[in-house]
Structure 1
Amino acid sequence: MIENSGKDTFEVSSEALSQTGSKYFDDDGRPKRTGTVLTSSAHIITAVIGSGVLSLAWAIAQLGWVAGPAVMILFSMVTYYTSTLLAACYRTGDQLSGKRNYTYTQAVSSYLGGANVKFCAWVQYLNLFGVAIGYTIAASISMMAVKRSNCYHFSGGKNPCKMNSNFYMISFGVAEIIFSQIPDFHDLWWLSVLAAVMSFTYSFIGLGLGVGKVVGNGRIKGSMTGVTVGASVTEAQKVWRSFQALGNIAFAYSYSMILIEIQDTVKSPPAESKTMSKATLVSVLVTTIFYMLCGCFGYAGFGDASPGNLLTGFGFFNPYWLIDIANVAIVVHLVGAYQVYCQPLFSFIERQAKQRFPDSDFMSREYEVPIPGCKQPYKLNFFRLVWRTIFVILSTVIAMLLPFFNDIVGLLGAIGFWPLTVYFPVEMYIVQTKIPKWTMKWICLQMLSAASLVITLVAAAGSIAGVVSDLKVYKPFVTSY
């Protein structure tokens, strides 16, 4: 019956659907969803707790003991509130029976349409491309840290162990070219699970080392206003770095671009928006507590000298093997996280190519390649092979030109914060709930959006200023660390 085609297939499918009822299929005919508050919270926490946590001690150091934690709490509150607005827009119309939106861009298309869809797609995919660059930089830093640590100990501290990051970025890029050839996002589940385990591994090690640093110092370092202006930091640098710190904190909380996709795994009833609001509350609370611990203990241990990447601040000292484990965990995590964030972009480009050139074998034809030891042959598509390889090479080359972890992280946080975390959720919620213009609620929502836009602009300016400053002393492909 399944092999029939045309009208008969549709009729059989409809009959089967009516017979099985809600046991196997949802209201739109798709397979039954089973997601809960627990699973959704796990997805969000796994996505959020990543390499961004390593820059939080540096961010708090720029802002100080008063503004640093306050800004982090403020970002958590804004993220939670706008996430609940976005969750309410999962269905167009009624929260239980309205049409489901399976992706962020589809939700924007349903509620806002027009230029907003293109703007959303550009921002979302530009941010994903930027993540690929940032992850390449972060992975190379960790690989160099392991190499330098072992070099230092084997030489007894006599060798300065300077090295160039290019080799390590290229090595990471080669690995990503291989993993990028996995055709479908769903085939990456094992890599995502491994990446999630690794993210918690290095985060907890960083937290533990931070606590140990404070205990070892016997006092809490830092000041109320952050890094002191003096010989090493000018007033202008203090301002720009404070702006950049906002972008770093925003990047650590960025998960709005995948919220709708996570919500699409939640079962109903109850309404998906209710489940997702609870999951968001749990996730933001857990994440904020964890971030506060990592950032604050890092700042308390290092003070004004807090490093841009927390793990690099512990240098080559014992327990160096534990720091090596953490850095290896970062590399493994970033290999998987790179794919998790880039696969949606890969799929989007490939769908567009097939639609534009439907008769092209280069675009759409798949060749079965047998793999020894595997039951299923690998499905080779030449366009996928070429396009994904070019993407990885391009992101690797840009990372080699701009290997500045904090600046790139801050810029990514700035690019994604206002449009994806605030603007689109606010505008879609206004349309969804039909809030009249110039009412108090409408004005408050627009003020929140405007304030977030200002934060995005200053954070982006601070990060760009950081890149310009770094480029004055950095020679691409030459400078060693």
Structure 2
Amino acid sequence: MRKTLQITTNASGAYDDDGRAKRTGTLRSAVAHIITAVIGSGVLSLAWSTSQLGWIGGPVALLCFAIVTYVSSFLMSDCYRYPDPVTGKRNYSYIAAVRANLGERRTWLAGFLQFLTLYGTNIAYVLTTANSLRAILKSNCYHKEGHQAPCNYGGSLYMVLYGLVQILVSCIPDLQNMAWLSVVAAIMSFTYSFIGLGLGIATVIENGRIMGSLTGVPAANIGDKLWLVFQALGDIAYAYPYSIILLEIQDTLESPPPENQTMKKASMISIIITTFFYLCCGGFGYAAFGNATPGNLLTGFGFYEPYWLVDLANACIILHLVGGYQIFCQPIYSVVERWASRKFPDSDFVNNFYKLKLPLLPSFQLNMFRFCFRTIYVISTTGVAILFPYFNQVLGVLGAISFWPLNIYFPVEMYSAQKQVGHWTRKWVVLKAFSFACFLVTVVGLIGSLEGIIKEKLG
């Protein structure tokens, strides 16, 4: 009887080939998820990064990272199914793909690095949100008291408030149920990017000239200049890649057409859009302020007026990062909750769901383990952000840690294994050279960013 029922249900199209509920994601929803993940706090530091690299190095670096990100996403898209990228068994996550293609040993390393990067990105989002909340208060204060007024506000309280919001939003079960949140977040990211771009253009027009130089901000000596260049590369590396959540996004797509084809199109569209914004925001921010470019374009107060527009931009950042935080924490939630369910199949605490109805809200299902774990996770990211409130340096470290191993090394190795690329063939040499060049970028970015954190901590 049970088999007959399953066949009938599947025939009705309610389930996919793996027995899970029918996926309904489209090219549009995938682009929304990607833009929500990519155009985040990293875009706000690109003007500063461009100022360190100059008018030649800045745009070239942004374009190079865009190309690298697309190549990485192209390789990863074919790893969703194994062994055949169209008809093979689904890999629901980055870790599952590594396990299927490269074996258990490298899975542990990939899992550790992925979780570290996702966790670190959530910390960066807590920092960015607090900076934007403070910027709104400062903007209003400067408007009333003058630009020289001592408008100082602490950040810890606003980090705690953001954490409370994330505890509530974390009640959303998974990515499949938050396409609407990604759409809202993507709209917010476009809004504040356009505002930052518009303010930069207006400032350039007001100045009557383009600020900056070919080589960027001068430093006291070559050593200091190298540290800043390295840190800028780390910041740009953080701003682009999304390979660590690509397969989770791809797992939401309907089929046909094949998921890898849709994902490649979504990646191309998203990277073109984000690169355009990055070049505009980085370029016009540097053109507006030159050597005085702030570390965070919208919270560093290069722009004071119109104060209400600065407030609106920062409010959009806050709303965007509410959704962006969830894009990066949901893979961790999913892995931990699936593990707990397998480990404790008879536990009511882990497996039972209770229907709740609160005033003015729709009814929802509450699982005690999910609620407790997600709450502890949010509290921990908030606590670390309070301890290390160094925006640009934190972004640089996160970008350097994740850029090569997660976005380059593992995608290259998985693609090579799946396609059975022979050693010392032309394709093998190109892939290895690509991987090694990106490894060098990771090393210099990590060194520069760690040096920046140490200097801030000691200074």
2:18 and 2:346 map into 1 onto residues whose CA distance is 30
Cα pair 2:132 2:314 within 8 Å, conserved = yes
Matched, 1:463 2:453: no
Instruction: Name the residue aligned to 2:427.
Output: 441
Whether the 8 Å contact between 2:354 and 2:366 is mirrored in structure 1 is yes
In structure 1, C-alpha distance between the alignment counterparts of 2:270 and 2:426, rounded to whole Å: 30
1:20-75 CA-to-partner distances (Å, cap 9, x unmatched) read 4xx55544344554555444334323321122111111111111111111111111
Distance in 1 of aligned mates of 2:86 and 2:398? 35
Q: CA deviation at 1:313?
A: 4.0
Equivalent residues in 2 for 1:137-286 (5 A)?
137-157=127-147, 159-230=149-220, 234-286=221-273
* Residue 421 (structure 2) pairs with residue 416 (structure 1): no
Q: Any stretches of 5+ residues in structure 2 without a counterpart? A: none
Distance change >3 Å, CA 298–CA 350, structure 1 → 2 = same
Contact conserved, 1:69 with 1:292, CA < 8 A, in 2?
yes
Greater mean deviation of Cα atoms: 410-419 or 319-328: 410-419
**Cα displacement (A) at 1:281:** 2.1
Of 335, 339, 350, which aligns to 1:352?
A: 339
Q: After superposition, what is the alpha-carbon deviation per residue over 1:392-442, rounded to whole angstroms, capped at 9, x for unaligned?
A: 222112111110111111111112111221111111111111111122221
Change (3 A) 1:396 1:269: closer
Deviations 1:272-305 (A, max 9, x none): 3333323322222222122111111111111111
After alignment, is 266-275 or 458-467 more displaced? 266-275
* Distance change in 2, residues 1:281/1:182 (3 Å): closer
Question: What are the equivalent positions in structure 2 for 1:103-142 lying under 5 Å apart?
Answer: 103-142=93-132
How far 1:453 moved relative to its partner?
1.5
Distance, in Å, in 2 between the alignment partners of 1:261 and 1:366 is: 24
Q: Distance in 2 between matches of 1:350 and 1:260?
A: 18
Question: CA 1:314–1:265 in 2, change beyond 3 Å: closer, same or farther?
Answer: same
Match of 1:342 in 2: 329
Q: Percent identity?
A: 50
Letter in 2 for 1:192: S
Please report how far the alpha carbon of residue 172 of structure 1 lies from its aligned counterpart in structure 2 after TM superposition.
Answer: 1.7
Give 2:393's aligned residue: 407
Aligned to 1:13: 6
Residue of 45, 50, 59 corresponding to 1:60: 50
Match status 1:98 vs 2:88: yes
- Preserved contact between residue 247 and residue 413 of structure 1 (Cα < 8 Å): yes
Looking at CA atoms only, which structure, 1 or 2, has the larger radius of gyration?
1
Distance 1:156 1:222 in 2: 27
Partner of 2:297: 310
Distance 1:179 1:141 in 2: 20
Report if the CA contact (8 A) 1:369-1:380 is conserved.
no
Tell me the number of residue pairs that the alignment of Structure 1 and Structure 2 aligns. Answer: 459
Residue-by-residue CA offset, 1:223-265 (whole Å, 9 max, x unaligned): 11111123xxx43222111111111111111211122223234
Q: Structure 1: which 5+ runs fail to align?
A: 1-7, 474-481
CA distance in 1, matches of 2:412, 2:346: 41
Q: State the distance in 1 between where 2:280 and 2:307 align.
A: 22
Q: Does 1:325 align with 2:318?
A: no
SS, match of residue 454 in structure 1: helix
**DSSP 3-state at the match of 2:298:** helix
Corresponding letter in the other structure for 2:53: L
> TM-score by structure 2 length?
0.93
Q: 1:47 to 1:158 in 2, by over 3 A?
A: closer
SS in 2 for 1:193: helix
Alignment of 1:57-96 (within 5 A): 57-96=47-86
1:165 to 1:267, Cα distance in 2 relative to 1, 3 A: closer
Deviation at 1:465, TM superposition (A): 0.8
Cα distance in 2, alignment partners of residues 189 and 402 from structure 1? 32
Q: Which amino acid aligns with 1:281?
A: M
Please, which moves more after superposition, 133-142 or 336-345? 336-345
Please give the root-mean-square deviation of Cα atoms over the aligned residues, in Å: 2.2
Q: Scaled by the length of structure 1, what TM-score is found?
A: 0.89
Counterpart Cα distance in 2 of 1:388 and 1:303: 43
